[in-house]
Chain A
Amino acid sequence: MTKLLSYQEKDTWIHRLCGVTKLLFFLLWCITSALTYDTRILAAMIAISLALFAMSKTEWKQVAGVFKMVLIFMVLNVVAIFLLSPYQGCEIYGSHTVLFQWFAGHDVTAEELFYLLNVVMKYFTIAPSIFIFMVTTDPSEFAASLSRVGVPYMASYSVAIALRYIPDVQGDFRRIRNAQEARGIEMSGKAKLKDRITRTASIIFPLLFSSMEHISVVSNAMELRGFGKKKTRTWYAQRKLQAGDYIVLALSVVFTVIALVITFHDGSRFYNPFAG
């Protein structure tokens, strides 16, 4: 199983920001990256996120495993687009410049390559911001700050429980899988589809039922302590929004607005180097 991203305590200005500030930055960043196909904006976003990544003092080994997954999915997606729709770029940019011929119906055009370059750049704008968000945000502080910005505390608590239980459930999963493998149930290899489903079911069943057990134990414990009785609650890990948070929020909004204005000012979300 791939090693997943997890929080690591460090002392940088990014770590000191409130979780919710980072979440809002991340969401705005995703929206901008999804909407814009302006290559200049995408390049600027990559530069900014790499700079932030460096400032967050994240070590490469913390994210290397996940970064490989990003690359795998990116390559798969790019190949799929080229095979299924080799002239998508020509439709978008309204011209057709054949660079060289490959196989029937799949001439390599400059427009398609440029379109695919934009698709690739989008991956590189998002990946560093996800890494930063995941490795610098303390889960309990994050849940506390969610409730601070108006998310009902019942919902914030669900998020807190989800983040808190991911490692536990993962531990359960590993134990159950090891136990099943010890009993001779081979998880990999070539078997019929039906057998593969049965084998996976032999892990999912105990995992799900032990989780249902967890749910009743945890909810009973919370009920005994009077959870949900009052309209509000206080949080141990709560932090006030500091000047830094407001500055980051303001800068994120300003950047998003500028990026979208530059992208859409000519009426198209695509930056077209082929025109004129």
Chain B
Amino acid sequence: MIFLKNISKEYKNGVRALNGINLHIEKGEFIYIIGPTGSGKSTLIKILDGEEIPDSGEVEVAGVNVGKLKHRQVPYYRRKIGVVFQDFRLLPKLTIFENIAFALEVVGKNKREIRKRVREVLKLVDLEEKAKSFPHELSGGQQQRAVIGRAIANSPKVLIADEPTGNLDPDKSREIIQLLEKINEEEETTILMVTHDSEIVNTVKKRTVALEQGYIVADIMKGGYIKHD
């Protein structure tokens, strides 16, 4: 589903964010990307998202050569992937239902389709009772579930989650992981989760890729957080 071949990226300020990354992720996989700040995780997400173009190498996601996309093709590519950014919040003046519907409205779906899909998504993220609530009436964990719901509303083949448990307590974090696992199974979505959370990586074991200074330093199928000094 995701192929990265020899990806390198250097920013204009001279920072080499990624150095010859090779990564192959199968359809339906659930993988963690771990690494300290500045290891290149964010750049990796931006390249997968089509926001940045790699200096060299090839990126293929869901059959699309992402590095070669023209500006106007990027939005259509984005409909195939879902991205949950750490700092993306819900629109405060819209209800949870409307927030999720928003993702479908902006890609031009018709009303009936939207209503049907939003109900499905709300059920999946277990927020059916909160459909008419506004974001500020929800807990942090519930808000994060709504954000994930919005990201998967367009039934993306790949879901990229950047620190989805970043601001949550361990219980709520586990809930989010369970939700992602459920999406992984029920929607057959390939999931790539960037995280700092060693607790989660060690308890809910998945394939784990460790990045450091732009290199992949470990790729462990059975998972577990790798400690460095």
- To the question of whether A and B form a pair in one complex, the answer is no
- Chain A positions within 8 Å of B, measured between CB atoms, are none
- Chain B positions within 8 Å of A, measured between CB atoms, are none
